[in-house]
Structure 1
Amino acid sequence: MPAPPATPLAADAQVLLPVNLTLGAVLAVLLAVAVTVVACARLSDDGSRRRARSVATAGLRAAVQLAAVSLLIGWVVRSGWLLLAFLALMYAVAVRTAGRRVTPNATWWWAALPIAAGVFPVVAALVLTGLVPPDGIALVPVTGILIGGALTATVLGGRRALDELRTRHGEVEAAMALGFLDRDARLEIARPAASDALLPGLDQTRTVGLVTLPGAFVGMLLGGASPLLAGVVQLFVLVALLAVQAIAVAAVLELVARGRLHRRGAEAGEGEGARDPGP
């Protein structure tokens, strides 16, 4: 029996980005443009061109990592232990990336807490309710999206909180002189700045369908799903991300306020984005 004809959406998915030399050339040009702009505009914390190298490295790493994942993902999901190991690797890399982006000193590992606090309860709820099968390929992208959201919120919240404490150190000391506990004084100063980490997720959720059509929605449409189903899945992803990021920001703010996550003792210039030690 001949195979049924492909749907128009499925056909569109096959020709959306054909894998050929033209695609490789366009990707190389786009990466070169990004590197050149960052270098010429000196888009770095200290006004140097060093972040251009980071952009180039990030692009090349993304290509290698996605190629490896594309080859391994089908094999990994066949074994429960391999699936758990792959998810643990995703989490470990996120912790390392977020922690070292927030601070170059030994307290970076505390970034494990806000990421875990945001992601694990949400993933557990999805698995326990049966919305996401525990042994299926769906668990990898869903968990990856949530870990990525927690990573971003942790980095933005932690950096903004520590930057604010360094800039307004005098106000922290003044609050302590008035009788505030160390934790409460830091919390009052850092909370408004750290809460800005929620803005990207809020803006994406508020403008979805009007300004942007996020990846989950577009991917399901191109895969042949109905617009209604694609919309429901995208709504689920956005709301789950809001919960994950809110928990991550609250947790990293508490760690900064309690002095668990700080920049004291960091050598100047250690790690990209490193700043002077905070209070």
Structure 2
Amino acid sequence: MSDGAVVAGPALAVVLVLLLALAAAVVWLGGLGSWRAVVVAGVRAVVQLAAVSFVIVAVLRSGWLTAGFVLLMFTVAVVTAARRIGVPRDAAWVAVALGGGVVPVLGLVLASGVVPLRPIAVVPIAGIVIGGTMTATAQAARRAVDELRTRYGEYEAALALGLPQRAAALEICRPSAGHALIPPLDQTRTVGLVTLPGAFVGVLLGGAGPVQAGVTQLLVLIGLLAAEAVGVLLAVELVASRRLHADWRTR
């Protein structure tokens, strides 16, 4: 560390390679999945962040380019979530779920002036909210589909008893889909005690004081919690109403 910043250089490259190799080895030896996926994810992160680092310089000079960049982030999040859920053709409905969580939160914090309408402030806040909502929404929808597929007999029994399709599906999938909110809830409960999240550390490294860093992190955490709660609710509703056309039937 030098002046509060991570030192970029050969040592950093070596450390990153070693950490990625460690993660891949653990996944491979522990039978946790594909080690190649770990390596590919790490390499993609390097390439994407390098590209973004160059692009962001131009983006931050223009309000219009900033808006376009945020829209690009949202589009990528929608496509990624739709693929994770297994409904790539229903990306428009996935966008409804993500947008339902992201738009009110970003609209409130920007319209209120809590976050200044400056590209350097808008881009990181938007990225954090969009990314968190994408993960929670995709996880909730996947859990809902998996639960309905596993307990399809119970769903049919509920229909036989006269429950409407949506109500029967919600009875089966809503409790498990709600588990997608456990990570943000735990992070919010334990912030400052167990973890010092990225926004807090980033503001500190940027030279701001601890109070400013704490206020920024609090806004991020509560905003994320609100956006993810709405996104999860909409995702479950869309699955139950079959707007997301995932196959529930057992295979």
Q: TM-score, normalised by structure 1?
A: 0.85
* Counterpart among 190, 197, 210 of residue 173 in structure 2: 190
1:132 Cα deviation after fit: 2.0
Residue aligning to 2:4: 13
1:114 Cα deviation after fit: 1.2
Q: Deviations over 1:96-125 (max 9, x none)?
A: 111101115523442211111100111111
Residue aligning to 1:256: 239
Residue aligning to 2:135: 152
Q: Give the unaligned 5+ runs of structure 2.
A: none
Report whether the alignment pairs 1:119 with 2:102: yes
Match of 1:13, SS? coil
Q: Give the unaligned 5+ runs of structure 1.
A: 1-9, 45-50, 265-275
| Contact 2:129 2:224 survives alignment (8 Å) | yes
Residue aligning to 1:270: none
C-alpha distance in 2, partners of 1:145/1:197?
17
| Contact 2:140 2:236 survives alignment (8 Å) | yes
Matched letter for residue 35 of structure 1: A
Q: Which protein has the larger Cα radius of gyration, Structure 1 or Structure 2?
A: 1
| Contact 2:82 2:88 survives alignment (8 Å) | no
Residue aligning to 1:4: none
Matched letter for residue 21 of structure 1: P
1:212 Cα deviation after fit: 0.5
Match of 2:65, SS? helix
| Contact 1:162 1:278 survives alignment (8 Å) | no
C-alpha distance in 1, partners of 2:2/2:37?
37
- Structure 1 stretches (4+) deviating beyond 4 angstroms? 276-279
1:31 Cα deviation after fit: 0.9
Aligned residue pair count: 251
| Contact 1:163 1:278 survives alignment (8 Å) | no
C-alpha distance in 2, partners of 1:278/1:247?
29
Comparing both structures, which one devotes a greater share of its residues to helix? 2
C-alpha distance in 1, partners of 2:141/2:91?
10
1:223 Cα deviation after fit: 2.2
Q: In the TM superposition, what are the counterparts of 1:74-223 in structure 2 within 5 Å?
A: 74-104=57-87, 106-223=89-206
Matched letter for residue 183 of structure 1: R
1:53 Cα deviation after fit: 2.1
Q: 1:11 to 1:55 in 2, by over 3 A?
A: closer
Q: TM-score, normalised by structure 2?
A: 0.94
Identity %: 53
Residue aligning to 2:217: 234
